[in-house]
Structure 1
């Protein structure tokens, strides 16, 4: 299934994409797509419904993030050897784990805002893994049984904040609009092998990233198992599994996002995103 949340920010409704590509409203079946649906029998209940009995949503509404109320977003750094090389970083012996603030999460086609004081805002296409079953110290062999589905992530990063402002990476990863998710959550039954997906990203029509999940250093099962050793993974949690080479930092010379740029990215079977980049307004967050 392809599950979506659509509508104005803060007023999204649950929906699904049927086999013909039409958006169907799920409001009569569930209140939202959140932990209560992902963590219990909600997905099975939705799967049992004939989509053609659901109302078609007219026009082309905005898509929000496919999951409501994400409790945490865990990111993996340097999970592709070629990306480690382009950033002059060693290939890790264990997964590099950091957090992205959930306030960064937004819809797949919402505007990306260059943060105030930013000089190095960068892009990163990544495979997102959505947890569907509580995971604590799970084995690699059982890890994928805890996955509800997959989605596209743009793990936007401000490199100066990340590397030059002291402390850990979270400051460069958590700016508002730095976590586009979606357009939809594709349930795990439709993705037979998460290590067999092509992912790509373009800026202003130029393809910078063209990778494949088979080249991950640590695959999805290993990541879920490893992370669950250090923290409990809850239904609705998102793991962003790392990016292949081709980020702005890795260009010679480096290239960073500017107002007016257009980012497009996608993953096989998981859809695509399109974001316009705009400048931070001085009064953006004033009361």
Structure 2
């Protein structure tokens, strides 16, 4: 793995809730691998920074971009954001890596095998949810994405190159918000309506 490729505003309702325009092409940015942490370590990340927002996303792992089964696995991740800092940096016209690429900004679950071609993946029945303190805060399905995974991977490969082991964070549905000490988080990933990943932690 050499990088984490992320997609911004890939769900219409999420763009609306942040008062952002609907993009015409995938908005891509990269997190370094130093952002990666375990899902269970969110609490320690929260203790180091102020006002962290959560964004649950489907995460895809690439095996070999030119193989018939380019996609090797799927999991879940949180794109953690220091929202106040991000807004400040944007207002100054500055890069906003400090708000998206800090240590622990990409807590991940485990990955499960999901060997698929890029073109076939968009037709799978995959959905995911985030529950905080027994309330469903986010729920998404890959058919709600503005830009399909095939387009995201193709654009990314043209722009950056995609290496074996790279992972894609495919965007977040509406319902983002702040994390608080003591929150009980549960994330679930379903394929064909069967739970294939379920993780929980109290932060």
The alignment's TM-score, normalised by the length of structure 1, stands at: 0.61
Cα drift, residue 275 of structure 1: 3.1
How far 1:132 sits from its partner (Å)?
Answer: 0.8
Can you give the 5+ residue segments of structure 2 that lack an aligned partner in the other structure? none
**Bigger radius of gyration among the two:** 1
Contact in 2 for aligned 1:183/1:272 (Cα 8 Å): no
- Consecutive unaligned residues of structure 1, counting only runs of 5 or more, are 1-69, 136-141, 249-255, 278-287
1:247 aligns with 2:171: no
Bigger RCO of structures 1 and 2 (CA < 8 A, at least 6 apart): 2
| TM-score normalised per structure 2 | 0.85
**Aligned position for 2:166:** 237
**Aligned partners of 1:150 and 1:188 also within 8 Å:** no
Match of 1:114 among 20, 27, 46: 46
CA-atom RMSD, angstroms? 2.3
Aligned length: 193
Matched, 1:211 2:164: no
In structure 2, the CA distance between the partners of 1:241 and 1:268, relative to structure 1 (3 Å rule), is: same
Distance 1:150 1:194, change over 3 A: farther
2:70–2:115: 8 Å Cα contact kept in structure 1? Answer: no
How far the C-alpha of 1:145 sits from its partner, in A, is 4.0
Does residue 100 of structure 2 align to residue 173 of structure 1?
Answer: yes
Distance in 2 (CA, whole Å) between partners of 1:234 and 1:76 is 17
CA–CA separation in structure 2 for the residues paired with 1:117 and 1:179: 14
Q: Does 1:182 align with 2:109?
A: yes
1:88 aligns with 2:19: yes
| Matched residue, 1:275 | 201
- Structure 1 residue 98 displacement after superposition: 1.1
